[in-house]
């Protein structure tokens, strides 16, 4: 009875063993010390073909001698399980990738390893996917590096290696930027800290020494919710784009220079012709000894000389790229200066020039010369506008106003007004409605000075209606400029 029960249980163990041996989803083979395949399951046979009486290297790889690195030999040697990863040839002659365990078989506990059990799984599909991934990693037109928490480059793709060199294990800041220390505002450091993707624009140095501009995004590589172990840095090179951008800016600048020069040349040619006329008439007067004609010729010379002078002056003050020289001044006294300067001229042509000053105004930091130029330009425009209209007793008023945040100068005239088409062009180079009398630089210079003070100039006008030019200066901005100015 007892023996029968024992037989039954042994039979059960045998059956379980055989079923397991055949049904386990692995290629299973048993190898002896001499590389002979002594047993294998159906999966193995299906994959690698008939094995009976053959050596393992012959079955797995269709070789005639043992492999260079034999995992089984290691197991026979030290008796520990080995994880193996290898490429063989299946019974149809096709390359096949497999991974698996090689375990020792001892016939007695504590005895020598007599056989090894090789349990492998075919991973050819996974491998080809990995290869595709590798190609993608290398060929994508971006620089890709994987860095660890020490900022050392663990992996780099082909594009990166070609551009920055093969610099595995070096610090990313050394390779990308040739720095000795971590970059300030390092986006990878941010990603290590918060686990988020960060984007930034960077400038690095290629292996040949040229500059590389790139847009970088750093992404975390983490296992589950644990801390970020690696960061993957992906950059797109925008050096070419940057170059094109610069070319466009340069071309625009050149075009602006060309336009300015053409405008300047036109003005100068007119003045030269005026001088030519003056010379012609003066010469004629001298020949005829005609005093009246002489004074006409002289006036022409003088007028055109003055015009040339004021064009050059305006042009210089316009092209000068300086910061305003700020000193504490009373805005009202600046206005009074202008009134004093223009009152008589205005009166002589029937224009009434008045001031409307804010009595509570305090001293503010302004560039007196600059503001003087602005007010001169605005007031002389206003007087010209009055002259161009038929109105009698045309008024021009200069106002000052000091509010909590802003200081404003306003110049209002009752002259001819500005129509819509002209208003859109008054701040462009060499635009003038005054023919040869204007340089087309006055308002442009005015706007430039106002902007250098951190202010804004605006105009409200319609044809045949009042015109109001307002220069508004934020007081905070003036103070900031003033502090900066005094600090230098």
Q: In whole angstroms, how close is the CB of 303 to other proteins at the nearest point? A: 6
Residue 272 beta carbon to other proteins: minimum distance, rounded to whole angstroms? 4
Q: Choose which of 158, 433, 482, 485 interacts with other proteins (CB under 8 A).
A: 433
Q: Which two tokens stand for residue 189?
A: 């450091």
With binding defined as CB under 8 A, does residue 328 bind other proteins? no
Choose which of 280, 345, 350, 362 interacts with other proteins (CB under 8 A): 280
Q: Does residue 272 touch other proteins according to CB under 8 A? A: yes
Q: Is 277 in the site for other proteins (CB under 8 A)?
A: yes
According to CB under 8 A, which one of 91, 170, 296, 479 is a site residue for other proteins? 296
Q: Which two tokens stand for residue 455?
A: 């202010």
CB atoms within 10 A of CB 262: 11
Q: Does 435 bind other proteins (CB under 8 A)?
A: yes
Structure tokens at 265: 């040349």
Contact region with other proteins (CB under 8 A), list: 86-94, 206-214, 361-369, 430-438:
430-438
Tokens 């442009």 belong to which residue?
444
Only segment of 94-102, 104-112, 248-256, 433-441 that touches other proteins (CB under 8 A): 433-441
- Using rule CB under 8 A, residue 278 touches other proteins: yes
Q: CA nearest 427: which of 440, 416, 409, 439? A: 440
**Closest distance between other proteins and the C-beta of residue 270, in Å?**
6
Among residues 70 and 311, whose Cβ is nearest to other proteins? 311
**Beta carbons within 8 Å of 398's beta carbon, 6+ residues apart:** 335, 338, 339, 353, 354, 355, 356, 375, 379, 409, 410, 411
Rounded Cα distance, 53 and 319, in Å: 96
Q: Is 190 in the site for other proteins (CB under 8 A)?
A: no
Total of chain residues touching other proteins, rule CB under 8 A: 25
CB of 387 to other proteins, least distance (A): 14
Q: Does 122 bind other proteins (CB under 8 A)?
A: no
Between residue 225 and residue 264, which ones bind other proteins under the rule CB under 8 A? 262
Q: How many CB atoms lie within 10 A of CB 143?
A: 24
* Residue 294 makes contact with other proteins by CB under 8 A: no
d(CA 440, CA 266): 12
Q: Applying CB under 8 A, which part among 22-30, 49-57, 149-157, 277-285 lies near other proteins?
A: 277-285
Q: Does 269 bind other proteins (CB under 8 A)?
A: yes
Q: Which is closer to other proteins, CB of 71 or CB of 442?
A: 442
Pairing mode, if any, of strands 351-356 and 394-402? parallel
CB nearer other proteins, residue 129 or residue 280: 280
Helix boundaries (H) for 71-123: 71-78
Query: Three-class SS of residue 132?
Result: helix
Contact in structure between 445 and 373 (CB atoms under 8 Å): yes
Check binding of 436 to other proteins (CB under 8 A): yes
Question: CA–CA separation, 369 vs 361, rounded Å?
Answer: 19
Per rule CB under 8 A, is residue 425 in the interface with other proteins?
no
Inter-residue contact 81 to 102 (CB < 8 Å): yes
Give the bridge partners for 90, in sequence order.
Answer: none
Burial per residue of 66-97, b for 16 or more beta-carbon CB atoms within 10 angstroms, e otherwise: bbeebbbeebbeeeeebebeeebbbeeeeebb
Least gap, CB of 463 to other proteins (angstroms): 14
Among 11, 211, 369, 434, binds other proteins (CB under 8 A): 434
**Segment contacting other proteins by CB under 8 A, of 143-151, 244-252, 295-303, 456-464:** 295-303
CB 446 to other proteins: min, Å:
21
Helix (H, G, I), strand (E, B) or coil at 157: coil
What SS3 state is found at 90? Answer: coil
How far is residue 187 from each of residues 176, 227, 344, measured CA to CA in Å? 13, 16, 67
Q: Choose the stretch contacting other proteins; rule: CB under 8 A; options: 128-136, 147-155, 280-288, 443-451.
A: 280-288
The answer to whether residue 415 forms part of the interface with other proteins (CB under 8 A) is no
| Least Å from the CB of residue 304 to other proteins | 6
Q: What angle do CA 20, 25, 26 make, to 5 degrees?
A: 95
Backbone angles phi, psi at 400, to 5 degrees: -125, 150
Q: Does 270 bind other proteins (CB under 8 A)?
A: yes
Question: Is residue 260 classed as helix, strand or coil in its secondary structure?
Answer: helix
Per CB under 8 A, 273 contacts other proteins: yes
User: Where does this chain bind other proteins (CB under 8 A)?
Assistant: 262, 265-266, 268-270, 272-278, 280-281, 284, 296, 300, 303-304, 432-436
């Amino acid at each position: 009875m007892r023996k029968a029960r024992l037989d039954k249980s042994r039979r059960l163990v045998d059956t379980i063993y055989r079923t397991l041996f055949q049904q386990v989803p692995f290629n299973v083979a048993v190898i002896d010390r001499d590389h002979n395949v002594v047993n294998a399951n159906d999966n193995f046979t299906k994959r690698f073909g008939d094995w009976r009486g053959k050596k393992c290297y012959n079955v797995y790889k269709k070789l005639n001698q043992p492999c260079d690195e034999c995992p089984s030999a290691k197991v026979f040697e030290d008796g520990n399980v080995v994880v193996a990863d290898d490429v063989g040839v299946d019974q149809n002659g096709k390359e096949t990738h497999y991974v698996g365990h090689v375990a020792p078989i001892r016939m007695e506990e504590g005895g020598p390893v007599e056989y090894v059990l090789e349990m492998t799984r075919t991973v050819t599909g996974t491998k080809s996917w990995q290869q595709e991934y590798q190609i993608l990693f290398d060929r994508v037109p971006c620089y890709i590096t994987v860095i660890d928490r020490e900022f050392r480059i663990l992996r780099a793709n082909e594009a990166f290696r070609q551009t920055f060199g093969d610099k595995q294990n070096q610090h990313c800041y050394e390779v990308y930027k040739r720095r000795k220390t971590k970059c300030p505002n390092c986006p990878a450091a941010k990603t290590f800290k918060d686990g988020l993707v960060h984007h930034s624009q960077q400038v690095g140095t290629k292996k040949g020494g040229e500059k590389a501009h790139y847009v970088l995004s750093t992404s975390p590589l983490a296992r589950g919710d644990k801390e970020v172990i690696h960061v993957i840095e992906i950059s797109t090179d925008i050096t070419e784009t940057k170059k094109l951008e610069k070319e466009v800016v340069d071309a625009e600048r050149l075009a602006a220079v060309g336009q300015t020069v053409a405008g300047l040349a036109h003005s100068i040619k007119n003045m030269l012709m005026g001088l030519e006329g003056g010379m012609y008439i003066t010469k004629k007067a001298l020949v005829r000894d005609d005093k009246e004609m002489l004074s006409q010729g002289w006036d022409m010379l003088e007028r055109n000389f003055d015009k040339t002078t004021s064009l050059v002056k305006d042009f210089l003050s316009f092209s000068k790229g300086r910061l305003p020289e700020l000193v504490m001044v009373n805005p009202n006294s600046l206005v009074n200066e202008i009134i004093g300067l223009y009152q008589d001229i205005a009166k002589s042509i029937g224009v009434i020039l008045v001031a409307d000053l804010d009595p509570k105004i305090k001293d503010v930091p302004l560039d007196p010369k600059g503001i003087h130029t602005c007010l001169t330009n605005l007031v002389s425009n206003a007087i010209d506008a009055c002259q161009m209209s038929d109105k009698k007793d045309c008024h021009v008023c200069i106002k000052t106003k000091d509010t909590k945040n802003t200081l404003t100068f306003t110049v209002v005239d009752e002259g001819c007004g500005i129509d819509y088409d002209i208003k859109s062009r008054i701040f462009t180079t060499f635009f003038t409605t005054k023919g040869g009398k204007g340089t087309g630089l006055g308002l442009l210079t005015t706007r430039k000075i106002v902007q250098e003070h951190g202010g804004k100039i605006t105009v409200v006008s319609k044809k045949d209606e009042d015109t109001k030019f307002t220069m508004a200066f934020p007081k905070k901005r003036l103070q900031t400029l003033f502090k900066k100015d005094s600090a230098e």
